[in-house]
Amino acid sequence: MPDTYRCRACGALYVDPLATGERAFHVCALVPDPPRPLAKPRPGHRDETWVQEQLGGAPHLRRPGMGRTLVALGDALSDATLAEIAALQAAPAIGPDPAPEPPIPWRADPAMIAGGT
């Protein structure tokens, strides 16, 4: 079931999982780093994409960073007004903060660790 989260590093609001059931995979936007031409990650940068360090190993979030806060049950963004979005940006956490990370439905594969067959 989709719920609405606020990133604890960048403040972005997003619904996860998506209405299609897929994960949203929030990644904090980079911030300018003058005078260098490239942007850099902000403190506590969060990247929810899944990575697997070795074949068959346990998958995990690329970078949990500061985590995320559950701010509304269900999708509170799709039909939200600007006032409702502003309220969500300041809303208190529902439950533990940061919210527990959801399980990753991507199983480690012992046969691959052992060299495969």
Q: Nearest distance from residue 2's CB to Zn ion, in Å? A: 18
> Hey, what amino acid is at 84?
E
Beta-sheet pairing, 3-7 with 13-16: antiparallel
Backbone angles phi and psi of 111, in degrees to 5 = -65, -35
Question: Which CB, 28 or 71, lies closer to Zn ion?
Answer: 28
Q: Which stretch binds Zn ion (CB under 5 A): 14-22, 40-48, 76-84, 88-96?
A: 40-48
3-state secondary structure of 50: strand
Q: Nearest distance from residue 31's CB to Zn ion, in Å? A: 11
Instruction: State yes or no: residue 13 binds Zn ion (CB under 5 A).
Output: no
